[in-house]
Structure 1
């Protein structure tokens, strides 16, 4: 009786593990488009529209087109702003060219802005 139950149980375990690996791989693929390649990266320039400015948290909500170098699709997102940028000079509705760079903490932030 034990041998009869052992084979189906083993098969179900293998099938279950296989589906977990396939799901994890599929899930990883879905999120890759929002991640930047690993390693050192120089600044990336992007055209964006400023939707809102949060001076207290030093963030901008921006809408930008696809950023091929980062494998990012067009999206609206909150971006941290580097300390040396005069964030108060940016206004909602304004179109800007922004330089993005990954900080030591791994988070991308706006490192330069130019009025567009």
Structure 2
């Protein structure tokens, strides 16, 4: 009797996956993630591959112009933090982010709090860098 009970239990456990339905999950009620509310300034962008972001069909060497507010700059590290307006050429919403600056950019021409015009260029490493920056016109 004991062996029969164990055999029945094993059979029941083995057959339960066969009874499960094989249907895709419905995620339609999940909605879209609002990336505009993400604080990208706190993210480590050095380890992110922005060249693979959804909606970006950029090839190495692609440039894009933007407008934003300079939050901070670190000339020693060639890095700025800015909050930019949407950049439709890249499929980017409004974001706050850290961006590296090329050595040819004069960071003395701008200061934190300035509204700025800037240009980005996608490098071979798939990271965007600021190649031009100036006070907004």
SS of residue paired to 2:124: coil
| Residue 6 (structure 1) aligned with residue 14 (structure 2) | yes
| Residue 78 (structure 1) aligned with residue 98 (structure 2) | yes
Give ranges in structure 1 of 5+ residues lacking alignment.
none
CA displacement at 1:30 relative to structure 2: 4.7
Point out the structure with the larger helix share: 1
**Are the aligned partners of 1:32 and 1:71 in contact in 2 as well (CA < 8 Å)?**
no
- Tell me which residue corresponds to 1:91: 111
Please give the root-mean-square deviation of Cα atoms over the aligned residues, in Å: 3.2
Instruction: Give 4+ residue runs of structure 1 displaced > 3 Å after superposition.
Output: 9-12, 29-34
- Following superposition of structure 1 onto structure 2, how do residues 53-68 of structure 1 map, counting pairs within 5 Å? 53-68=73-88
Equivalents in 1 of 2:19, 2:62: separation in Å?
A: 49
Give ranges in structure 2 of 5+ residues lacking alignment.
1-7, 37-49
- Tell me which residue corresponds to 1:37: 56
**Are the aligned partners of 1:47 and 1:64 in contact in 2 as well (CA < 8 Å)?**
yes
For residues 45 and 32 of structure 1, do their structure 2 counterparts lie closer, same or farther at Cα, with a shift above 3 Å needed?
Answer: same
**Are the aligned partners of 1:100 and 1:111 in contact in 2 as well (CA < 8 Å)?**
yes
Aligned length: 108
For residues 88 and 7 of structure 1, do their structure 2 counterparts lie closer, same or farther at Cα, with a shift above 3 Å needed?
Answer: farther
**Based on CA coordinates, which of the two structures has the bigger radius of gyration?**
2
**Are the aligned partners of 2:106 and 2:133 in contact in 1 as well (CA < 8 Å)?**
no
SS of residue paired to 1:78: strand
Give the counterpart of 1:101 among 115, 121, 124.
121
